[in-house]
Chain A
């Protein structure tokens, strides 16, 4: 199957400083792909090149079979139409984009629906992002999290085939975040390809089929969250409480064997037993630590 997004050798410099340094990337149709990385690592630059906001210095980029550069300063006959056709198929949720303070949620969503040839139903979209009760509220009365949901509503109103989300849940409370994750999963079920950047590792773990870690402009790892940085085969930590009431732990490549031995030793239940692999956060921090 052809990739929804294909990137080869992407490079971008700002005044000589390298922001993106040879990124290769494939995202399959219907996949949720999370891009992780510290601030200034090149995440936003990479995503904004894919979104058609920025020009690249070199490399090949294709989003839904189209070079996003058509949407950025492209001229000539047919380019404008091509850019528009491509924009019809791509949804974007940026960081901190402007609101329309004096308009209501319903007015803004209905207005953006007009830009697309086959938009979703504004009422249903507003409901899906959880703003049904706020449909008639002016947008300046919304909380930070509610504004973000409006951003998402505007990103999906055109029924995009690819949806870009730049740190979509910053400022959400845990409950709102979980609802938002469900919304994203529903979109995936509907066939949408999703690329999101995030600082929340649990978000990447909960949502993403694959995670890419970007540091210093390079994509240093691309794996499913469960196997990122060989987490699944990394040394595990087994901890338990000894008969003297002291917490004890040991790092081992064979945790099952250790647990077996402990079970034999205690003749059944081992007090306060835990077996832990490195968390996504552990491997992530180790990875970006290696590069920095």
Chain B
């Protein structure tokens, strides 16, 4: 049974790898962003810590959100429109297999793009990788929880766009605004208070905060809005988003378009 999910994942990854533009833009995007930001902000964020060290967390977060949320919220409506979902629905394939395939694809892309990003940032922009096993462990669970929340949100959001063609127009602004208010492009605490409050409702801010605890020195926690990196709260908020999005998925996911009944 589980092998079906695996094969579905292999199929998804194959489809992804064979569409060349998609591969280049998706996998290289976070790395290109760090090249842009690393080249503009060459100075220190303070205490001898380079800007790269801060921005890389935003780029990892953005990359995970793009791979999970944006990609699925655009791709699923397109597949629904083209009747791919309807075709699967007409077979004995268990429904989870479709989502299992998407999860494997998202995981594959997320790992690959993060590795590329970290490699570029380390080689060319002086990024210091986490120094302790504990930090790597934090990196791992924060990323895993973050990508899970993003993936589930992407599946849930896939029911918002009514047609495959309108999906990018519906999804892109949401992703873009979240990036601006969640401290991806600016130092989060330099944003207006109300904006920080709004961002605090969404997962991206917490994902980035969790990642900052990995890539910034311990002492920087004091500069966070809450006075610390507050990892327990990162876990709780991301966890709540996972549950919320999962419930939404189960309640609202559509296999056919309105036109199909």
Please report A residues at the B interface, Cβ cutoff 8 Å: 14, 45, 48, 51-54, 84-85, 87-88, 90, 92, 94, 96-103, 107, 111-112, 114-117, 138, 154, 158
B135 to chain A: which residues have CB within 8 Å? none
**A116 engages B92 (CB within 8 Å):** yes
B92 to chain A: which residues have CB within 8 Å? 84-85, 87-88, 115-117, 158
**A102 engages B18 (CB within 8 Å):** yes
A96 to B14, CA, bound (A): 23
**A100 engages B260 (CB within 8 Å):** no
The B contact surface, by secondary structure, is helix
Cross-chain pair count, CB within 8 angstroms: 75
Q: A114-B4, A115-B4 are in contact. Are A100 and B91 (CB under 8 A)?
A: no
B93 to chain A: which residues have CB within 8 Å? 115
B116 in the interface, Cβ–Cβ < 8 Å?
no
Smallest distance from the beta carbon of B253 to chain A beta carbons, Å?
12
Please report B residues at the A interface, Cβ cutoff 8 Å: 3-4, 7-8, 11, 14-15, 18-19, 79, 81-87, 89-94, 256, 260-261
- Pick from A90, A98, A101, A102: contact of B87, CB under 8 Å: A98
A179 to B225, CA, bound (A): 71
A90 to chain B: which residues have CB within 8 Å? 90
Nearest residue (CB) in B for A91 is B90
Nearest residue (CB) in B for A14 is B261
B19 to chain A: which residues have CB within 8 Å? 101-102
Nearest residue (CB) in B for A99 is B82
B11 to chain A: which residues have CB within 8 Å? 100, 103, 107, 111
B14 to chain A: which residues have CB within 8 Å? 102-103, 107
- Pick from A51, A96, A112: contact of B83, CB under 8 Å: A96
Q: A94-B83, A97-B86, A102-B15 are in contact. Are A111 and B91 (CB under 8 A)?
A: no
